[in-house]
């Protein structure tokens, strides 16, 4: 796939295929719509429109205005099956494109407002011609931090309810949800745990930890040494800047390190060369050799990171279990004409015994789908 790494292409293809399997079993009268939250460049949104049977339109929401404008102006190839499954010329015109819209989703209400706006625009453009309720499936691939939780909140709070449609509140409703969360370290404060069984007492803890202590998100690396060096050497580099009296906060955005290729971590000198080129300073102005005083710190940081890696799967498993229990609680507490199953699905490769919550999907689908 053009513009995607092999990993990203695999994830997009795999998730679209899984959504397609769900779509084939949805009991809908006249197709359905998909909302991709945190769509980025729209790779998943376009693949969904391309391979999912019965989809009438895809809304790609993202909080990056520059990215949204760029994608909205690009002419992408038409999907293979969009026109084939359209019912008339008007529907065909709608089915051959993805609608890119800006949406800084910080609450379930904002997500619902964005979908309302989308359907209003389609009604104004005479794309929606029938009064049949429009089912909507929510998807989110690696929605950072609280975003994936807000998607689930929107589903359970603004679900597809017959009474809402009969009262004229809206002409659409959520029918299913597939989210793959990530970046749990970016969760808003107080968003774990959210389920009743896992919620401790509300007593404030005696020890308040720094924000950095929340960064337990672990992305497995095929090379353990490389993974450790990526974290430890960047920390040591900051120590060196502090010792030299250089304030990283004074640098402009272009001076940030960003990502380095694996070869940058071959040796300490090589790493400094890469860092110097990014930060606009020469390695000689820092140190080309690791100071003996920093060697014990480097060892301590390495041990700390390994311990965090060992705790990572436990923390992520607890977060996922908490989220699933919470969704089940919310759905069970509401009087609904349609019941749902909530489950965890290992959607992507787990690399043998090494897994990550970034590979697990939280799926909410109608109970009639096996």
Check: CB of residue 51 under 8 Å from CB of residue 17. Answer: yes
Closest CA to 186 of 215, 208, 154: 215
Distance CA 33, CA 149 (A): 21
Q: 3-class DSSP state for residue 228?
A: helix
Token look-up 């940030």 returns 256
pLDDT, tens digit, 9 for 90 and up, residues 258-278: 788 889 999 888 888 888 887
Distance CA 229, CA 337 (A): 54
Secondary structure letter of residue 200 according to DSSP = -
What pLDDT shows up at residue 95?
44
Q: 3-class DSSP state for residue 112?
A: helix
Written out in words, the top-level CATH class of the domain with range 6-182 is: alpha beta
Q: Report the sign of the C-alpha dihedral through residues 354, 41, 61, 78, in that order.
A: negative
Q: 3-class DSSP state for residue 56?
A: strand
Check: CB of residue 137 under 8 Å from CB of residue 57. Answer: no
pLDDT exceeds cutoff 80 at 168:
no
3-state helix, strand, coil in the chain (%, to 5): 45, 15, 40
What residue segments make up the domains of the chain, in order of their start? 6-182, 211-310
Check: CB of residue 269 under 8 Å from CB of residue 233. Answer: no
What pLDDT shows up at residue 1?
64
pLDDT exceeds cutoff 80 at 47:
yes
Closest CA to 193 of 324, 360, 356: 324
Distance CA 232, CA 44 (A): 34
Task: Kindly report the backbone phi and psi dihedral angles of residue 38, in degrees, each rounded to the nearest multiple of 5, phi listed first.
Answer: 75, 45
pTM: 0.76
pLDDT, tens digit, 9 for 90 and up, residues 66-104: 888 888 777 555 554 443 444 444 444 444 579 999 988
Token look-up 């071959």 returns 266
Check: CB of residue 324 under 8 Å from CB of residue 342. Answer: yes
Distance CA 346, CA 341 (A): 16
Question: What is the mean pLDDT of the segment spanning 126-133?
Answer: 67
Task: Kindly report the backbone phi and psi dihedral angles of residue 16, in degrees, each rounded to the nearest multiple of 5, phi listed first.
Answer: -65, -40
Distance CA 317, CA 304 (A): 20
Check: CB of residue 120 under 8 Å from CB of residue 161. Answer: no
> How sure is the predictor about 126, in pLDDT bands with cuts at 50, 70 and 90?
low
Return the structure tokens found at 193.
Answer: 């745990």
Distance CA 34, CA 143 (A): 16
pLDDT, tens digit, 9 for 90 and up, residues 218-240: 455 557 788 888 888 888 887 77
Return the structure tokens found at 358.
Answer: 């970034």
Distance CA 76, CA 71 (A): 9
């Amino acid at each position: 796939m053009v513009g995607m790494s092999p990993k990203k292409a695999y994830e997009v293809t795999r998730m679209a295929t899984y959504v397609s399997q769900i779509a084939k079993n949805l009991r809908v009268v006249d197709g359905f719509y998909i909302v991709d939250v945190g769509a980025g460049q729209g790779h998943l949104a376009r693949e969904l429109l391309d391979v999912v049977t019965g989809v009438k339109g895809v809304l790609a929401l993202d909080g990056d205005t520059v990215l949204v404008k760029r994608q909205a102006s690009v002419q992408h190839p038409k999907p293979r099956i969009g026109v084939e499954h359209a019912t008339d010329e008007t529907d065909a015109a709608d089915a051959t494109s993805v609608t890119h819209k800006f949406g800084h989703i910080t609450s379930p209400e904002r997500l619902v407002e964005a979908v309302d706006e989308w359907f209003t625009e389609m009604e104004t453009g005479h794309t929606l011609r029938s009064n049949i309720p429009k089912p909507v499936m929510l998807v989110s691939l690696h929605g950072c931090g609280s975003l994936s939780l807000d998607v689930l909140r929107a589903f359970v709070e603004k679900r597809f309810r017959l009474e809402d449609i009969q009262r004229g509140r809206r002409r659409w409703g959520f029918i299913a949800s597939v989210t793959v969360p990530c970046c749990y370290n970016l969760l808003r404060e107080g968003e774990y745990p959210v389920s009743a069984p896992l919620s401790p007492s509300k007593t404030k803890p005696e020890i308040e930890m720094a924000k950095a202590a929340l960064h337990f998100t672990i992305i497995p690396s095929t090379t353990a040494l490389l993974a450790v060096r990526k974290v430890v050497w960047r920390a040591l580099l900051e120590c060196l800047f502090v010792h030299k009296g250089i304030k990283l906060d004074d640098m402009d955005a272009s001076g940030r390190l960003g990502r380095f290729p694996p070869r940058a971590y071959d040796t300490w000198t090589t790493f400094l060369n890469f860092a110097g080129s990014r930060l606009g300073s020469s390695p000689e102005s820092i140190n080309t050799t690791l100071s003996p005083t920093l060697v014990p710190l480097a060892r301590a940081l390495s041990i700390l990171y390994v311990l965090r890696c060992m705790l990572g799967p436990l923390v992520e498993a607890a977060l996922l279990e908490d989220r699933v229990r919470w969704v089940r609680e919310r759905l069970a507490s509401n009087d609904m004409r349609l019941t749902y199953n909530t489950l965890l699905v290992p959607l992507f490769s787990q690399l043998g015994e090494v897994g990550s919550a970034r590979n697990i999907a939280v799926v909410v689908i109608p109970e009639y789908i096996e």
